[in-house]
Homo-oligomer: A and B are copies of this chain.
Amino acid sequence: MKLPVDGVQAFVQIAELGSYRRAAEALGLTQTALTRRIQKLEGFLGLTLLDRTTRTVRLSPMGEEFLPLAARLIADFTHGIERLRTTSRLAVGDVTVATIQSIAFRRMPNVLRAYACDYPQNRVQILERSGALVTEAVRKGEADFGIHIQQEPDADLVEDRLVCDPFVLICHRGHPLAGRGAVRWAELGDADLITLGGASGNRHRVEAQLRAAGQPPRGRFVVESTPTAFALVSAGIGAAILPAALQGASQRDDLVAVLLIEPEISRTISLVRRRNTSLTPAAAAFYEMLRVELSGGFG
């Protein structure tokens, strides 16, 4: 069963304009086409909707009765479809992103500013999650997509690798290592090190690396949050080992970052979203902006 929408649309237009010719013009068709549409519709319905002579067009009683409904059906449909197209074209809608803190701190603000400029009516909600909780939020659909440290592949998720975020040594301008282009892990023995604590994957990797370099992680400062680490460094307590992405989180210009090498270890920042689920236009636009912006690497 095929719905005679064209016919109904033609009927409404003709009824409203009182003329085949004008309706045809309004619809961008020929008058002939409308004649055929109406004939087909009336044939399908088995009744007369328009009483027409060669000169005039008027609604039949049934047409009179049907017109309000018909007009509403067409209007509803048109508006519904049109709203969808607008949503698509302008990428209207809300976006929810789950992200690890480092990105939220450092790079997100720029992207958010640009996105707000391009899509002023869209709201963006940022879920700050640590570690595996990003993928969790994405998997559960709480977030449209996420930004996190790449982990082992997940059957339900698909990742877009963006950039490697190497670990760096953040030290005070006056620190002995501050002038170096890079520092070997093995050279860290002399420094008072500050590391991030908590259950984060970062801590484990850093401690593992220190052990491997023959630098047992004893007597170091372990802090809970990035701002604290910066504050300690700034106060000259020691140097901090952090992902480069966090570097800009401090507003301080008395700090210097030095790349840690031999080996250079890094986290891979990835965009992650559900496999087999497309993003909404609004989310897709934001996703794309993030991808482009974050591909620039960390300098």
Contacts and interface: CB of A to CB of B under 8 A. Distances in A.
A73 B70 contact: no
A123 interface: no
Given A47-B87, A73-B76, A281-B46, A3 B81 contact: yes
Number of copies: 2
A144 B61 contact: yes
Looking at chain A's contact residues, the main secondary structure is helix
Interface stretch (A51-59, A105-113, A286-294): A51-59
Interface string A67-109: 0011001101110110011011100000000000000000000
A6 interface: yes
A280 interface: yes
A48 B278 contact: yes
Given A6-B2, A60-B278, A45 B76 contact: no
Contacts of A279: 61
Contacts of A9: 3
A277 to B, nearest CB: 5
Contacts of A276: 51, 53, 56, 58
B281 A60 contact: no
A62 B283 CA distance: 11
A3 B77 contact: yes
A24 to B, nearest CB: 14
A281 B47 contact: yes
Nearest to A70: B80
A48 B84 CA distance: 11
Nearest to A50: B278
A221 interface: no
Nearest to A4: B81
Contacts of A60: 277-278, 280
